[in-house]
């Protein structure tokens, strides 16, 4: 979050910037903005599909930002190598998850800056819900709360979109802005260079800047000026964003207070052209009052973030509870505003393994297999004694989940050996209505030295467990051949679940191979 500027000066600067054509390279994917959407009479209903964003994942991104800053002069500021390294880290995460990314460059103060824009395939591209955070720090510190916290939280929300298979009605776009600390330069450049037809497609812009302040408050941008102070309401439609965020915090018993659109963060260029905006904020250099402390705890008379714009804004300058709550609020708001794309009879979640979506091998750390462990891979065909033990083809595409994809010098080189191997899906939030079915393709192959102790098993695990497949071995040759299985998992409706796949070679020297492909959950 940038240093305060008097509101009159900020408005004047925006007017000048909006009229200026910046002579730098523009993005090839230009999304959008100006149609005003009427505010609803009430906040939207809770969206059951919104995931619980794992705090550990958000913190892992923050650790990466800290490492980048440490390796690059202690900061991630505009024009410094730490900023570009931060862009490259976020881009790598998004590319691997299946987003379409564009790095948009601009020039400020004689240095090249970068915005990173990421679009999730699908949804109505004339109805864009855009979520952004500035990625740069000040030059005096690594900027882990300001604004690694917002950047990491929206990154993990974007990755949750990919993991969950969310297919929203509206089009989702995420952005990481450069040079915010120097006057909203990156976001202003983006908005200035959008053709008016593209601006008109952005229906809502969500901004998250400093969402893990150590002495945190819970502030929501005051879209309808219901607090009756400050600069007045945002563009028509901003109230819907405010109400949606408040609905989430009310659901977890956390009170919120309004915060003014004072021009200190990247919503500024959007509201200046009439795009509805909103977001959350946990406080910067402002002092927490006794009233605030009675609402949220913490220390009255101390800054919300005592390390604001200082070298101590490091990985230790984060309130994990505030970060966790805000990350979940971001996901809730994105899901609610984008609308469900899973009407009855359509896919809730699927994975054909052509891209990495976050499956975790040996999730409990208890596996005993020594080789041939589960992984996402491009399998090579293997056979022994005329029996095909591993298929070199998948059900769709080139990749599947397989126990050791390599062929090696013989069929027994990379087959499953030594015990149990497990792999677990990312979290999947199931709808609370309808009939839910899990379908998948699979095979279990073995030679006649196998036994019933060898197996392939697929379970869906939430607060309870549904076993979708339990195939066991036998003392006979069994060639690899794709089979299909479907099972009703409606007992897990409304839960956040994971699919757990495990296989065992528990018969000594037996030769065992297994694979899974095209996993899908549908609602009817």
Mean of pLDDT over the chain: 87
Q: What is the pLDDT of residues 11-30, one digit of tens each?
A: 444 444 444 433 333 333 33
Angstrom distance (rounded) from CA 499 to CA 510: 26
Q: What is the pLDDT of residues 455-472, one digit of tens each?
A: 999 999 999 999 999 999
When pLDDT is averaged across residues 334-357 and rounded to a whole number, the result is 81
Contact 270, 132 (CB under 8 A): no
**Least confident interval from 82-91, 118-127, 506-515:** 506-515
Residue 408 has pLDDT above 60, yes or no: yes
When pLDDT is averaged across residues 350-369 and rounded to a whole number, the result is 94
* Residue 198 bears catalytic tag: no
SS3 167: coil
Residue 67 has pLDDT above 80, yes or no: yes
The candidate with the shortest Cα–Cα distance to 157, out of 245, 94, 237, is 94
Sign of the CA dihedral running 490, 491, 496, 501? negative
Contacts of 401 (CB under 8 A, 6+ apart): 353, 359, 374, 375, 376, 423, 501, 515, 516, 517
Residue 435 has pLDDT above 90, yes or no: no
Report pLDDT for 29: 38
pLDDT band at 340 (very low <50, low <70, confident <90, very high): low
Say whether the peptide bond before residue 328 is cis (omega within 30 degrees of 0).
no
Residue 201 has pLDDT above 60, yes or no: yes
Contact 32, 198 (CB under 8 A): yes
Residue 231 has pLDDT above 80, yes or no: no
When pLDDT is averaged across residues 336-347 and rounded to a whole number, the result is 68
Q: What is the pLDDT of residues 129-159, one digit of tens each?
A: 999 999 999 999 999 999 999 999 999 999 9
Angstrom distance (rounded) from CA 357 to CA 348: 15
Angstrom distance (rounded) from CA 165 to CA 347: 8
Angstrom distance (rounded) from CA 512 to CA 371: 11
Q: Which residue of the set 180, 181, 242, 513 is catalytic? A: 180
Report pLDDT for 227: 53
Residue 274 has pLDDT above 80, yes or no: yes
When pLDDT is averaged across residues 305-327 and rounded to a whole number, the result is 98
**Residue-range domains of the chain with CATH:** 33-340 (3.40.630.10), 347-523 (2.60.120.200)
Question: In terms of C-beta density within 10 A (0-12 exposed, 13-18 middle, 19 or more buried), how is residue 505 classed?
Answer: buried
pLDDT band at 228 (very low <50, low <70, confident <90, very high): very low
Report pLDDT for 413: 81
C-alpha separations of 114 from 117, 159, 284, 503, 519 in Å: 10, 21, 24, 46, 37
Residue 57 has pLDDT above 90, yes or no: yes
Question: In terms of C-beta density within 10 A (0-12 exposed, 13-18 middle, 19 or more buried), how is residue 374 classed?
Answer: buried
319: phi then psi, degrees, rounded to nearest 5: -95, 105
Torsion, Cα 155 158 163 165, to 10 degrees, reads 180
Residue 167 has pLDDT above 90, yes or no: no
Report pLDDT for 317: 98
Residue 508 has pLDDT above 50, yes or no: yes
Residue 117 has pLDDT above 50, yes or no: yes
pLDDT band at 5 (very low <50, low <70, confident <90, very high): low
- pTM equals 0.61
pLDDT band at 475 (very low <50, low <70, confident <90, very high): confident
**Residue 251 or 328, more confident:** 328
Report pLDDT for 31: 34
Residue with tokens 């229906």: 203
Angstrom distance (rounded) from CA 119 to CA 132: 12
Residue 356 has pLDDT above 70, yes or no: yes
With a pLDDT cut of 70, the percent of the chain lying above it is: 87
Print burial letters for 386-410: b (CB count within 10 Å at least 16), e (below 16). ebbbbbeebbeeebbbbbbbebeee
With a pLDDT cut of 90, the percent of the chain lying above it is: 67
Report pLDDT for 263: 85
When pLDDT is averaged across residues 405-425 and rounded to a whole number, the result is 87
- Give the pair of three-digit tokens for residue 91: 């881009």
Report pLDDT for 251: 85
When pLDDT is averaged across residues 99-115 and rounded to a whole number, the result is 97
């Amino acid at each position: 979050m940038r240093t305060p500027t008097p509101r009159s000066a900020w408005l004047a600067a925006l007017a000048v910037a909006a009229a200026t054509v910046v002579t730098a390279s523009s993005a090839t994917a230009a999304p959008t903005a100006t149609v005003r959407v009427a505010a609803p009479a009430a906040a939207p209903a809770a969206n059951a599909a919104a995931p619980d964003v794992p705090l550990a994942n958000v913190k892992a991104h923050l650790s990466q930002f800290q490492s980048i800053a440490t390796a690059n002069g202690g900061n991630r500021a505009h024009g410094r190598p730490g900023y570009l390294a931060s862009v490259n880290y976020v881009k790598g995460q998004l590319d691997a998850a299946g987003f379409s990314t564009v790095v948009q460059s601009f020039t400020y103060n004689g240095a090249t800056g970068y915005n990173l824009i990421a679009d999730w395939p699908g949804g109505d591209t004339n109805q864009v819900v855009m979520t952004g955070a500035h990625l740069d720090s000040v030059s005096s510190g690594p900027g882990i709360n300001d604004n690694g916290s917002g950047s990491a939280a929206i990154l993990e929300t974007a990755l949750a979109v990919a993991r969950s298979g969310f297919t929203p009605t509206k089009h989702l776009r995420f952005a990481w802005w450069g040079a915010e600390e120097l006057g909203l330069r990156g976001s202003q450049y983006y908005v200035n260079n959008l053709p008016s037809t593209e601006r008109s497609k952005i229906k809502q812009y969500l901004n998250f800047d400093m969402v893990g302040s150590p002495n945190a408050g819970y502030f929501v941008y005051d879209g309808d000026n219901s607090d009756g102070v400050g600069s007045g309401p945002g563009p028509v439609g901003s109230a819907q964003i405010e109400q949606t965020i408040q609905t989430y915090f009310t659901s977890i018993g956390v009170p919120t207070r309004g915060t003014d659109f004072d021009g200190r963060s990247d919503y500024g260029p959007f509201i200046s052209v009439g795009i509805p905006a909103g977001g959350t904020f946990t406080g910067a250099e402002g002092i927490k009052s006794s009233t605030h402390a009675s609402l949220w705890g913490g220390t009255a008379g101390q800054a919300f973030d005592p390390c604001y714009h200082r070298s101590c804004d490091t990985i230790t300058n984060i309130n994990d509870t505030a970060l966790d709550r805000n990350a979940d609020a971001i996901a809730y708001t994105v899901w609610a505003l984008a609308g469900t794309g899973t009407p009855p009879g359509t896919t809730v979640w699927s994975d054909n393994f052509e891209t990495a979506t976050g499956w975790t091998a040996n999730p409990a750390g208890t596996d005993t297999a020594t080789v041939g462990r589960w992984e996402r891979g491009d399998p090579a065909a293997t056979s022994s004694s005329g029996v095909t033990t591993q298929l070199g083809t998948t059900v769709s595409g080139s990749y599947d989940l397989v126990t050791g994809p390599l062929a090696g010098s013989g069929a027994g080189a990379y087959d499953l050996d030594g015990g149990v191997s497990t792999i677990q899906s990312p979290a999947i939030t199931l709808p609370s209505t309808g009939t839910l079915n899990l379908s998948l393709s699979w095979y279990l192959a073995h030679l006649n030295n196998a036994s019933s102790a060898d197996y392939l098993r697929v379970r869906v695990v939430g607060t309870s467990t549904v076993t979708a497949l339990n195939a066991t071995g036998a003392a006979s040759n069994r060639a690899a051949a794709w089979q299909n299985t479907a099972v009703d998992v409606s007992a897990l409706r409304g839960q956040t679940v994971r699919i757990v796949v495990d296989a065992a070679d528990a018969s000594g020297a037996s030769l065992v191979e297994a694979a899974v492909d095209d996993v899908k959950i549908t609602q009817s």
